[in-house]
């Protein structure tokens, strides 16, 4: 795009969403003569275009206040009013964008890093060769008005990306594309989209993404060598930073930038001559591309001040950054020797040996008793199943066990020929047999393979083994941003994050309630499913078919055995409300009856935690007494909601690509296991109330409950002044043609509506067609049955 007006219009459109009507405070500043006063104007791009070009042709740079100003200090025709100033912080009307001004030796390198930031910036403005502004525009409800919050976030962003330290206030003016920059050789200011263009930017997620950045107040500028704030933690870290810095593909500007940062970082912590000599040795790695000692020393000696230092080295050197992040400033980094030349290594071994406790014998070897003890080490015969548990905690029948351990021959008695059946050798040898246990246990809090004895003296072997979950440090904000789109209420986000982190850090800790996530179809609930599966390990995760669960889950539930997490997708109980009663012990009890088809029911360990997904708000009914379900209604309830949040195919392809292909899953594993802070057991003991709680109660009403609530709203006799009578309720339900529940069921329904049982009336009440004294309920406990009749307008009730 080379048309100047098109460039300026594209900038205004991406920044404001309405390039034709957005109003800016403009500033025309002479590029070469700083003594010349700046020219101020206010108006839209179209209104100011011609005049701006005239000033630009006269040597003035064209700038605009990025954020929205309230118009104070300017006349209706955009001219400044003498004696008034409308360009100060108190006149900021709204924040349109966060911006980083990249203008140092590392600018292009930092631009490349910033392009991959999450939330992603939309576009860059190329102000001159090797310099750029990076924009994160805020649209719709993401715009805000808080100068202090803006300044803090700006400081963190410019610290993180080595930006201009002066670009931190909300009133800052920046160059506008489509005009000439004329400080040196004239250069047309341009703009172009970055890979994140069009992706929603959340100010909260942007703040979270740099929450770890320490950004002290300062006023920018270059620093003389030896500045303590830019120094390395010590000489050993400085040497490691140099030795581990790769040279392959390093451009000349990168070379100069790294050298400046390294010299500043070490000037106050290491001997200067040793620094120079080590640096010259490092330069030799460039081989034939090196321009010689004299050339290198010229650059070394020319560096006397710089903005760059230790933090820049961390940005430039991923190996250094990883070591520093994981090991900390106090680690003796000299213990790690940097391999300067590539070495040949064997491919890394993944997983465990199929039989990790011993080395397999060659086919045809003859194994005696002591040999068998070693060969079958870690195996147990489980009498409940008549099968053998191997060291990988797999139950194997005779055929499976023979297939896995076959090959050698086994001496199992004094007179017979050696056997070639491992199962027989392990269970029937007169010289040695594998240990026997009565049944299996699944105890994540116990040592893997531990033998546990119950109160009846029966033994069980613990089959739980910690899953090997890959985790790497990184930026979790894509997931946090998605969470904020689906569930924008901060208190809801906290509950969800706590729940995820507790499952990640304390696998097997039984949480007695389950979250239910509800949204429209295609809103991105699947990323939560993938995350739960990854965090606990696929072997410990199960997602039963919702219909199968509703229809037969109460009878055949062997799929629950030895699981840490169970996620039910597309749950909707409809009229099978009794299914909720079946689910309750599965969610909250540490032991349950488990039965597979063709097998007897057995009581087994149940350390699984649960979650539910649904597209329906009435999927799982709750009332005021419910304690096992925390209901989360998403803000995304329609296709329009998805479109408003720009959650289309492009967004979900980007999100799932990050999770599946760019280490998103491993990054979240590290975040929830190692970064997110939550104490063991600090999760609520019953389902917490969410922002959806009241609506969920309304959505979960049964027809009987709705009829009773309508009667309360209508203030019918028997339902007035906080009272409900079972007699009046029965009479009204029959009149409405509703199936009349038993009195005991009706009492539970009324209690579920938040009413307290007060007691029975003294007499039967003829107005309610009651032959027996009804049970009375009230919203307050501080009432007496004798007050009921008068409150309903019945007068005094006497014996029939």
Pairing of strands 180-181, 187-188: antiparallel
Provide the 8-state DSSP code for 672. I
Q: What is the dihedral of CA 349, 354, 360, 364, to 10 degrees?
A: -130
Question: In a 3-state reduction of DSSP, which class is residue 47?
Answer: helix
| C-alpha to C-alpha distances, 612 to 295, 545, 560, nearest whole angstrom | 66, 11, 15
For 552-569, the DSSP string reads HTTT--GGGTT-SEEEE-
**Cα-trace Rg, the chain:** 36
Q: By 3-state DSSP, what share of the chain in percent is helix, strand and coil, each rounded to 5?
A: 40, 15, 45
Question: In a 3-state reduction of DSSP, which class is residue 436?
Answer: strand
pLDDT digit string (tens) for 495-505? Answer: 999 999 999 99
The least confident of 21-35, 335-349, 699-713 is 335-349
Report d(CA 778, CA 553) in Å as an integer.
38
Q: Where are the beta strands (DSSP E) in 286-325?
A: 305-306
493 or 362, greater pLDDT: 493
Report d(CA 621, CA 516) in Å as an integer.
11
524 and 482 Cβ atoms separated by less than 8 Å: yes
Residue 339, phi then psi, degrees to nearest 5: -85, 110
Q: What integer pLDDT is reported at residue 355 of this predicted model?
A: 36
150 and 95 Cβ atoms separated by less than 8 Å: yes
Helix 526-536 to helix 649-661 angle (10° resolution) is 10
Q: Is the pLDDT of residue 800 over 80?
A: no
Q: What integer pLDDT is reported at residue 584 of this predicted model?
A: 78
What residues are paired with 123 via a beta bridge? 135, 193
535 and 549 Cβ atoms separated by less than 8 Å: no
Helix 726-735 to helix 703-713 angle (10° resolution) is 110
**Predicted TM-score (pTM) of this structure:** 0.53
pLDDT category, 575, cuts 50, 70, 90?
A: very low
Q: Whose CA is closest to 511, among 626, 589, 583?
A: 589
414 or 621, greater pLDDT: 621
Report d(CA 174, CA 230) in Å as an integer.
28
Domain positions in the chain:
4-209, 223-335, 366-462, 477-694, 701-792
pLDDT digit string (tens) for 581-590? Answer: 778 788 877 7
Domain 477-694: top CATH class: alpha beta
Report d(CA 694, CA 341) in Å as an integer.
65
Task: Give every CB contact of residue 246 below 8 A, 6+ residues apart in sequence.
Answer: none
* Number of Cβ atoms within 10 Å of the Cβ of 113: 17
For 337-373, the DSSP string reads PP--S----PPPP-S--SSTTSPPPPTT-EE-HHHHH
pLDDT category, 16, cuts 50, 70, 90?
A: very high
Domain 4-209: top CATH class: alpha beta
Report d(CA 705, CA 751) in Å as an integer.
11
- pLDDT, averaged across the chain: 85
For 736-786, the DSSP string reads TTPPPPPHHHHHHHHHHTT-EEEEE-SS--GGGT-SSPPEEEES-SS--GG
Report d(CA 97, CA 262) in Å as an integer.
33
Can you say how many angstroms the Cα of residue 120 is from the centroid of all Cα atoms in its chain? 16
pLDDT digit string (tens) for 106-165? Answer: 788 889 889 888 889 999 999 988 899 999 999 988 898 888 889 889 988 988 888 888
pLDDT digit string (tens) for 156-208? Answer: 898 888 888 888 889 999 999 999 999 888 899 999 999 888 888 988 889 88
Burial status of residue 554 (CB atoms within 10 A of its CB: 0-12, 13-18, 19 or more):
middle
| C-alpha to C-alpha distances, 524 to 482, 527, 531, 654, nearest whole angstrom | 8, 6, 12, 12
Q: Whose CA is closest to 340, among 293, 294, 278?
A: 278
* Number of Cβ atoms within 10 Å of the Cβ of 682: 10
pLDDT above 90 coverage of the chain, percent: 45
- Cα angle vertex 64, ends 62, 67, to 5°? 165
Q: What integer pLDDT is reported at residue 547 of this predicted model?
A: 66
Report d(CA 259, CA 247) in Å as an integer.
12
Task: Give every CB contact of residue 784 below 8 A, 6+ residues apart in sequence.
Answer: 758
Cis previous bond, 119, omega within 30: yes
């Amino acid at each position: 795009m080379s048309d100047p007006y098109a460039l300026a219009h594209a900038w205004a459109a991406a920044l404001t969403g309405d390039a034709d009507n957005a109003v800016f405070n403009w500033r025309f500043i002479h590029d070469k003569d700083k003594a010349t006063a700046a020219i101020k104007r206010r108006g839209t791009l179209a209104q100011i275009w011609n005049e701006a070009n005239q000033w630009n042709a006269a040597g003035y740079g064209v700038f605009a206040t990025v954020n929205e100003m309230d118009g104070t200090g300017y006349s209706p025709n955009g001219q400044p009013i003498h004696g008034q100033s409308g360009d100060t912080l108190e006149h900021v009307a709204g924040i349109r964008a966060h911006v980083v001004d990249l203008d140092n030796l590392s600018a292009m390198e930092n631009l490349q890093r910033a392009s991959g930031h999450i939330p992603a910036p939309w576009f860059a403005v190329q102000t001159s060769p090797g310099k750029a502004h990076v924009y994160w525009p805020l649209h719709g409800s993401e715009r805000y008005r808080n100068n202090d919050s803006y300044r803090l976030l700006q400081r963190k962003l410019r610290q993180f990306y080595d930006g201009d330290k002066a670009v931190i206030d909300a009133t800052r003016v920046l160059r506008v594309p489509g005009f000439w920059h004329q400080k040196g050789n004239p250069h047309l200011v341009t703009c172009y989209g970055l890979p994140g263009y069009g992706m929603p930017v959340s100010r909260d997620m942007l703040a979270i993404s740099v929450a770890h950045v320490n950004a002290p107040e300062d006023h920018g500028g270059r620093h003389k060598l030896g500045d303590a704030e830019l120094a390395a933690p010590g000489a050993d870290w400085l040497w490691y930073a140099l030795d581990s810095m790769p040279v392959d593909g390093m451009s000349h500007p990168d070379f100069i930038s790294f050298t400046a940062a390294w010299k500043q970082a070490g000037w106050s912590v290491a001997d200067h001559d040793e620094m120079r000599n080590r640096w010259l040795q490092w330069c030799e790695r460039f081989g034939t591309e090196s321009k010689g000692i004299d050339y290198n020393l010229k650059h070394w000696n020319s560096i006397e001040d710089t903005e760059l230092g230790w933090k820049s080295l961390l940005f430039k050197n991923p190996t250094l950054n990883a070591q520093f992040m994981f090991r900390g400033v106090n680690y003796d980094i000299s213990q790690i020797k940097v391999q300067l030349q590539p070495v040949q290594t064997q491919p890394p071994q993944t997983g465990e040996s199929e039989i990790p406790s011993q080395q397999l014998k060659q086919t045809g070897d003859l194994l005696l008793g002591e040999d068998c003890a070693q060969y079958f080490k870690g195996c147990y015969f489980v009498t409940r199943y008549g099968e053998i548990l191997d060291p990988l905690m797999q139950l194997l029948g005779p055929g499976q066990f023979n297939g896995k351990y076959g090959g050698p021959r086994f001496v199992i008695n004094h007179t017979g020929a050696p056997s070639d059946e491992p199962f027989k050798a392990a269970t029937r040898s007169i010289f040695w047999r594998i240990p026997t246990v009565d049944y299996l246990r699944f105890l994540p809090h116990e040592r893997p393979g531990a033998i546990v004895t119950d109160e009846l003296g029966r033994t069980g072997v613990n089959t739980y083994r910690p899953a090997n979950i890959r985790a790497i440090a990184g930026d979790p904000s894509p997931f946090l941003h998605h969470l904020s789109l689906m569930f924008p209420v901060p208190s809801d986000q906290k509950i969800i994050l706590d729940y995820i982190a507790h499952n990640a850090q304390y696998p097997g800790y039984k949480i007695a309630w389950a979250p239910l996530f509800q949204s429209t179809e295609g809103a991105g609930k699947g990323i939560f499913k993938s995350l739960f599966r990854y965090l606990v390990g696929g072997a410990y995760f199960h997602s039963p078919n919702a219909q199968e669960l509703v229809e037969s889950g109460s009878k055949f539930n062997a799929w629950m055995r030895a699981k840490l997490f169970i996620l039910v997708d597309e749950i909707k109980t409809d009229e099978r409300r009794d299914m909720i009663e079946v689910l309750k012990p599965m969610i909250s009890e540490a032991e349950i009856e488990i039965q597979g088809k063709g097998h007897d029911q057995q009581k087994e360990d149940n350390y699984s935690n649960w979650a539910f997904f649904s597209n329906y708000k009435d999927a799982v009914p709750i009332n005021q007494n419910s304690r096992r379900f925390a209901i989360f209604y998403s803000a995304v309830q329609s296709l329009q909601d998805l479109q408003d949040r720009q959650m289309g195919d492009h967004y979900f392809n980007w999100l799932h690509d990050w999770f599946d292909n760019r280490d998103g899953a491993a990054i979240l594993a590290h975040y929830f296991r190692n970064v997110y802070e939550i104490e063991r057991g600090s999760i609520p003991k019953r389902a917490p109330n969410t922002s959806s709680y009241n609506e969920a109660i309304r959505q979960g009403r049964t027809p009987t409950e709705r009829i009773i609530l309508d009667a309360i709203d209508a203030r019918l006799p028997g339902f007035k002044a906080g009272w409900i009578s079972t007699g009046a309720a029965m009479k009204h339900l029959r009149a409405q043609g509703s199936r009349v529940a038993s009195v005991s069921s009706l009492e539970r329904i009324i209690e579920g509506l938040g009413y307290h049982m007060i007691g029975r009336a003294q007499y039967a009440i003829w107005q309610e067609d009651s032959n027996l004294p009804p049970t009375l309920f009230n919203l307050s406990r501080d009432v007496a049955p004798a007050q009921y009749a008068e409150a309903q307008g019945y007068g005094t009730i006497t014996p029939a």
